[in-house]
Amino acid sequence: MKATAKSPANIAFIKYWGKKDPKIRVPLNSSISMNLSNIYTVTTVEFSPSFERDEVDIVNGEFSEKEKQRIIEHIDRIRKKAGVQYKVKVLTKNNFPKGTGIASSASGFSALTVAGAKAAGLNLSTKGLSILARLGSGSACRSIPDGFVEWQAGNSHETSLAYSLYSASYWEICDLVVIISKKEKKIASTKGHSMAQESPFLMLRVDAVEKRIKQIKKALKNKDFSLLGGGIEAEALNMHAVMMTSNPPIIYWLPKTLEVMLAVQKWRGEDLEGYFTIDAGPIVHIICQKKDANKFKERLTKISGIKDVIVNEPAEGARLVNQHLF
Ligand code: DP6
């Protein structure tokens, strides 16, 4: 019983930051994202009676013991659901090297879920896979459906899941991932979510987020790029205000992060329309229209200290593939 899946990372337009139920990763608010075509994980999972112990490995990097343990915990959920007791072999490969500062939990846990469920003989729907992936890492549930995705917060295990709002080909917009530092982030997002509870702004943010969700949905529906971008940028700053006012405060930005943010705003005032968003790290994502992607890339590579720019278009969600990694 062996299966392999490929899954994209995703960028959140409306962010997931703070949990209603941390144990089962039910978020405080719904979120909206776009799957990314050029940042993905491929994972092969095999269960076999001939394996004597669980083995977890990554092709281009190294897993810490903690990371391995989190993967095995997810495999245990799959084993339990499928009634499988065999030991497992998991091999995973990111198309980006580990340590670029690109978070891999969304693509990683969604690929693991799709490959693992199939290898264990489970036949789950997109909805079922999204619910299961969420238990591994919240944002992973958004990498299961195609294209532009909403994760409905829900209020229980069964009701907290993601579904596609629009397919990948719906709108030609891009996410330029600007690699600023190759260092791992200082505070892992799982810890950051719980620290958010200390921010006096957390519940203000949650109360206001519904309005921003409406704005993003309207912008998507009408393909109104300025409305979309304005909403995305305001949302990112809002989440970072919560991060910065946690106790202790979390400042994910580096000086280069701010330099790129300001450049994006300056270019927008001149001749090039784009909007930034930032997750739990120093990397800046620039959302722009496809026609402008090369122009942005040219300008960004002229800024000293920018290590790389990865251009992404909207992508399909997680898929089974035929080529196994072992
Ligand atoms: C800032 O999904 O990594 O990227 O559920 O604890 O694994 P866990 O958290 P995770 O959080 C992602 C947070 C974010 C915003 C987002 O992607 O919505």
Instruction: Tell me, using a 6 A CB cutoff, whether residue 25 lines ligand 1.
Output: yes
Instruction: Tell me, using a 6 A CB cutoff, whether residue 134 lines ligand 1.
Output: no
Instruction: Tell me, using a 6 A CB cutoff, whether residue 74 lines ligand 1.
Output: no
Residue 222 to residue 294: CA distance in whole angstroms:
25
Report residue 218 as tokens: 């309207």
Give the distance (Å) from ligand 1 centre to CA of residue 16.
Answer: 6
Evaluate if pTM is beyond 0.85: yes
Protein residue whose Cα sits closest to atom 14 of ligand 1? 279
163, 159, 200: which is closest to 20 by C-alpha? 159
Report residue 57 as tokens: 């490995």
Among 7, 14, 16, the mutation site with the greatest number of ligand 1 atoms within 8 A of its Cβ is 16
Give the distance (Å) from ligand 1 centre to CA of residue 96.
Answer: 19
Protein residue whose Cα sits closest to atom 5 of ligand 1? 138
3-state secondary structure of 315: coil
What is the three-state SS of 244-297? HCCCCCCCCCCHHHHHHHHHHHHHHHHCCCEEEECCCCCCEEEEEEHHHHHHHH
136, 127, 143: which is closest to 10 by C-alpha? 143
Q: What is the pLDDT along the chain (326 residues), one digit of tens a residue?
A: 999 999 999 999 999 999 999 999 999 999 999 999 999 999 999 999 999 999 999 998 889 999 999 999 999 999 999 999 999 999 999 998 766 668 789 999 999 999 999 999 999 999 999 999 999 999 999 999 999 999 999 999 999 999 999 999 999 999 999 998 777 667 888 899 999 999 999 999 999 999 999 999 999 999 999 999 999 999 999 999 999 999 999 999 999 999 999 999 999 999 999 999 999 999 999 999 999 999 999 999 999 999 899 999 999 999 999 999 99
| Burial class for 100, CB neighbours closer than 10 Å (0-12, 13-18, 19+) | buried
Instruction: Tell me, using a 6 A CB cutoff, whether residue 137 lines ligand 1.
Output: yes
3-state secondary structure of 64: coil
Give the distance (Å) from ligand 1 centre to CA of residue 145.
Answer: 17
Among 26, 73, 189, 283, the mutation site with the greatest number of ligand 1 atoms within 8 A of its Cβ is 189
